[in-house]
Structure 1
Amino acid sequence: MAIMQARRVVDLVTRVAVMAISVGGSASEAVAIALRITATYGVTVHIDITNTSVIVTQHRGLDEDPITALRVVRSRSNDYQRLGELQLLVDDICDKTVSLEEAADRLAAITRSPRLYRQWFVTMNIGLMGAGLSTLFGGTVMDGVLSFFSTCIVDATVQAMARKRITNFFAQAAGGAIATAFALIVMVYMAASNHPLPLSPSLIVAAGIVSLLAGGSFVAASQDALDGYVVTSSGRFLEGFVQTGGVILGVITAMWIGLRLGVPGYISPALGFSTNPVLQMVAAAVIAVTFGISSHAGYRTLAICAALGAAAWAGYLLGMQLTGSVSAASGLAAMVAGFIAGLGAKRWKVPQLGLVTIAIVPLMPGVMMYRALYMIVNAQNETGGTSSAGWTLFLEALLVGVALAVGGSFGALLARPFTLPKDLRSRLATLASWGAGQAVPRERRRRRSQPPADPHHPALNNTETDPTVTGTWAR
């Protein structure tokens, strides 16, 4: 009977960990959830999370075969409503208010449950996010309308290609090309018009870039790197760079074709922010809410995201006053968002990683990346050479992206000592999930309870006293 229950626990833990990663959770969150469940049922396991695979095994001594389960994460898509429901399920399991069979049924119900928002509604909110970005950067009402329609077209195209199972790289490239082509069409119309129009097509491209890059894996990747899951972190970073490379390829290709066809090359890449700080914070809150809807965040989470997005932008304005550096101010703003999200996630019963990812979307360097690409392509088209200013700005845009990812993770890291669970089992499980990234002193004294390095020692056959059969492998 004990063996059968252990098998059920291992199977449940494996499914829960895979579910957590597939809906946007970090590796440390998945490990903490899994260890909390196994500690509740008194089952000691090893957990190995390596990018898209989850292995859970229970070592039962030298005389018994281990119980091992392996599952692969087929796809990753942010769904913070399901992640929140999964965390509530784990809380109920740890409180022993549900049985093992009921927990398995609830997990299956969460897995089969439909998305919180319909696809057309998500696409409309992606368009509103583009309009909010236009407002944030001082665009006119017409700029907001054009950004809305172009971003909706970009999102609808990317989703249609995803349903056809086209590679994500080419879907991102198509989205970047469509946003740039839309801006070029507007420029042709402006050149043919007899009256000057108060339009900034640069905002159209910037809104498209941000809509494609928002919610990428960089925040989760930096979180995994700080927690010591280096292989998983490397995979997430590579995935994010591939997506970014697709967007860059699409923007550069459309821009180069437009310049070759003689499209007017005066798309001004120089843009500033709205002069009203309050309007900027309101626009940042709108952007956070609309992107939260695209990530299927719950209603309570959306209200928190609005406040957190405005707070992050206030941190950015403060950072610009203190440092004058865009990357430093962006990192400070992300750190503020991460710290607040880390402190309040448990109390608000919302996913911490989701709050950070949503709050930093207004800070993403879409306009900066467009300016850099425009300078590079325009210099290549006119002189056949390269633009050092363009490459410098491109590296600065990458630095801003890194600052956002690391700042958000560092802010959440600062809040961790204040958010440890109260019960001992959950506290130890959470600490074990964080321990992989801790610094190890050069010399460590052997604990008295630690068994000697003798493979035939009796302590190694006792799964209750052997400290090597609990914990995680951090990869």
Structure 2
Amino acid sequence: MNGMNSFTQLVRRSFGKIIAAQGSVKIADFEKIDNTLTPNMRALRLVMTMADQLSSMGMPAHSVTNLALNITDVYCQQKVHIDISYTQIFVSQDRGVDREPLTLIRTITPRETNYQLMQQLQDLSAKIANHTLTLDDAEKSLDKILSRVRRYPRWVIYIASGGISAGSAILYSATWPLVLIAFFVGAVTAWLLGRLGRLALPPFFTQVVASLFITLFASALMWFVSHGYVDFMGSVNPTLITVGGIVLLVAGMAIVGAFQDAIDEYYVTAGARLLRVAMMTTGIVAGVGIGLYASRKLGISFIPTPDRLTFASASYQYLGAVIISASFALGNHTRLGGIILTGATGLLGYYTFLASSGAGLSSIPANALAGITIGFIATLVSRVWHMPSLAIVNASIVPLVPGLILYNGLMGLIAPENAPGGDDLLLRAILISVAIAAGASFGVLVGRPTRRSFVLIRNSLPQWPLRSEDRE
């Protein structure tokens, strides 16, 4: 009994010490001072928000990381490590032996690309890097920018999408009725994509539905023309109409962006983007396949691949390239001056491509040389025109991207009778994408020091000096 009483007292004393110890523990609030976030945490929150916005609009991971580190170097005393893996942003900070390390994670939410917003965020980052904004002012500026995002009405976006389809048709044909039909198909397809997006459909099924609509529309138009119900348009090429609509769906820019991240050694992000490209293009092929099957059951048959088409004259190709580049910029909420600039840069890039091809270069080095030209010019003029060089590059290379070749390659794997040689086409699309991405990256790398030299020369003159910050 005495042993039992001793054991009971021991247990009571032990629990009493544990409870007393828990009551005496003081929880140190390392991240708050007077119930407010510390400047370090506020700076990290600012960086996360800006990185999330820029990444969600398609800016390369390397550019976002550099921009974010420029901000943390100003507002944070300890160094910060930032990593981006397509859908997530990781921010880590080792604060020494006497403070806990910080790790912040945020999921990237896909957003509509807005080049005006991108420029405003880059301007804010440049001001911070120049030590011209306090943390309070930077937070207020960011809140103001995000609360007043400038966007065009939806009908303008539909017109821009129609312009991309019409420009693609002009590359292959000078028949204006067909160009107008392609414009209509592109505008309606953009409207349909917007409606499907509101239903929160996965991109794969969105691609299936949109490509099915385009194929059925081309088949129906061909049936009306062949039966004499529509005779004011002359001969109708349903392949060209299909290509004009599908160019809005093909992930040509996405595959170039994926290889851009691979060149910058962000392999996880690059791999994820490449898989997304494959899924989206597979959705297009599936939708076209369903549409072709339905058309054949109704007695309508045509080849929905652009490899059977021939390009129009050089003048019409230049016109198509200008319309495609300018329409792409307009569809991403670019200012009027930027739209004119991207159209001119797209023309220059396409001219470089045709001139190189005419000089005997194959398509791969010709596309690389065009990418170098576009990247170099975009970097030189972006500061003067107050527009992100990324926006100029992305819009100007759209006429060059191998989205239709990628589509042809997958169509060849699924339906060899429509597009033979699918393996070769896929390899060609990959090599062209790498060439464009590498060329544009090299052009930007060469353009930056060249632009700095021009700024130094300009500032040496007895006039009002320009700021020499780098906004990329």
Conservation of the 8 A alpha-carbon contact between 2:349 and 2:374: yes
Structure 2 unmatched ranges of 5 or more = 1-32, 457-468
Match of 1:302 in 2: 339
Give the 3 Å change call, closer, same or farther, for CA 100–215 of structure 1 in structure 2: farther
Match of 1:235 in 2: 272
Match of 1:58 in 2: 93
Conservation of the 8 A alpha-carbon contact between 1:78 and 1:215: no
> How far is the alpha carbon of 1:68 from its aligned partner?
3.3
Match of 1:19 in 2: 53
> How far is the alpha carbon of 1:347 from its aligned partner?
4.2
> How far is the alpha carbon of 1:171 from its aligned partner?
0.6
Q: Is residue 420 of structure 2 the alignment partner of residue 415 of structure 1?
A: no
Match of 2:114 in 1: 79
Matches of 1:371 and 1:62, distance apart in 2: 58
Give the 3 Å change call, closer, same or farther, for CA 211–396 of structure 1 in structure 2: same
AA aligned to 1:337 is I
> How far is the alpha carbon of 1:115 from its aligned partner?
4.4
Q: Is residue 123 of structure 2 the alignment partner of residue 91 of structure 1?
A: no
> How far is the alpha carbon of 1:378 from its aligned partner?
7.0
Equivalent of 1:157 in 192, 208, 211: 192
Conservation of the 8 A alpha-carbon contact between 2:285 and 2:411: no
AA aligned to 1:237 is L
1:224-261 residue CA offsets vs partner (Å, 9 max, x unmatched): 21111111121222222222221222122212332343
Conservation of the 8 A alpha-carbon contact between 1:332 and 1:407: yes
Number of matched pairs = 421
Matches of 2:281 and 2:91, distance apart in 1: 33
1:295-329 residue CA offsets vs partner (Å, 9 max, x unmatched): 11223321210111101110111121123533443
Q: Is residue 163 of structure 2 the alignment partner of residue 125 of structure 1?
A: no
Conservation of the 8 A alpha-carbon contact between 1:209 and 1:366: no
Give the 3 Å change call, closer, same or farther, for CA 395–94 of structure 1 in structure 2: closer
Give the 3 Å change call, closer, same or farther, for CA 139–102 of structure 1 in structure 2: same
Give the 3 Å change call, closer, same or farther, for CA 392–218 of structure 1 in structure 2: closer
Conservation of the 8 A alpha-carbon contact between 1:191 and 1:264: no
Matches of 1:332 and 1:167, distance apart in 2: 36
Equivalent of 1:287 in 305, 318, 324: 324
Q: Is residue 181 of structure 2 the alignment partner of residue 143 of structure 1?
A: no
Conservation of the 8 A alpha-carbon contact between 1:200 and 1:268: no
Superposed CA RMSD in Å reads: 3.1
Matches of 1:223 and 1:268, distance apart in 2: 27
> How far is the alpha carbon of 1:419 from its aligned partner?
5.2
Q: Is residue 370 of structure 2 the alignment partner of residue 338 of structure 1?
A: no
Residue correspondence of structure 1 range 215-234 to structure 2 within 5 A: 216-234=253-271
AA aligned to 1:291 is F
AA aligned to 2:210 is G
Partner SS, residue 65 of structure 1: coil
Matches of 2:361 and 2:173, distance apart in 1: 20
Matches of 1:273 and 1:116, distance apart in 2: 35
> How far is the alpha carbon of 1:376 from its aligned partner?
7.0
Give the 3 Å change call, closer, same or farther, for CA 295–227 of structure 1 in structure 2: same
Conservation of the 8 A alpha-carbon contact between 1:24 and 1:80: no
Conservation of the 8 A alpha-carbon contact between 2:192 and 2:210: yes
1:408-455 residue CA offsets vs partner (Å, 9 max, x unmatched): 3343344344457999xxxxx98xx9xxxxxxxxxxxxxxxxxxxxxx
Larger Rg: 2
Partner SS, residue 57 of structure 1: strand
> How far is the alpha carbon of 1:111 from its aligned partner?
2.3
Match of 1:458 in 2: none
AA aligned to 1:223 is Q
Matches of 1:27 and 1:369, distance apart in 2: 24
Matches of 1:62 and 1:207, distance apart in 2: 61
Match of 1:274 in 2: 312
AA aligned to 1:64 is R
Matches of 2:57 and 2:413, distance apart in 1: 37
TM-score, length-scaled by structure 2: 0.80
Matches of 1:64 and 1:338, distance apart in 2: 44
Matches of 2:131 and 2:157, distance apart in 1: 37
Matches of 1:335 and 1:174, distance apart in 2: 37
Give the % identical residues: 31
Matches of 1:177 and 1:21, distance apart in 2: 31
Match of 1:203 in 2: 240
AA aligned to 1:230 is Y
Structure 1 unmatched ranges of 5 or more = 382-386, 424-428, 434-475
Give the 3 Å change call, closer, same or farther, for CA 67–264 of structure 1 in structure 2: closer
Partner SS, residue 21 of structure 1: helix
1:143-197 residue CA offsets vs partner (Å, 9 max, x unmatched): 0111011111211111111011000111112122222222212221232239792
Give the 3 Å change call, closer, same or farther, for CA 371–24 of structure 1 in structure 2: closer
Matches of 1:167 and 1:268, distance apart in 2: 25
Matches of 1:324 and 1:201, distance apart in 2: 32
Residue correspondence of structure 1 range 268-417 to structure 2 within 5 A: 269=306, 270-275=308-313, 277-323=314-360, 325-365=362-402, 368=405, 380=417, 388-389=420-421, 392-393=424-425, 395-417=427-449
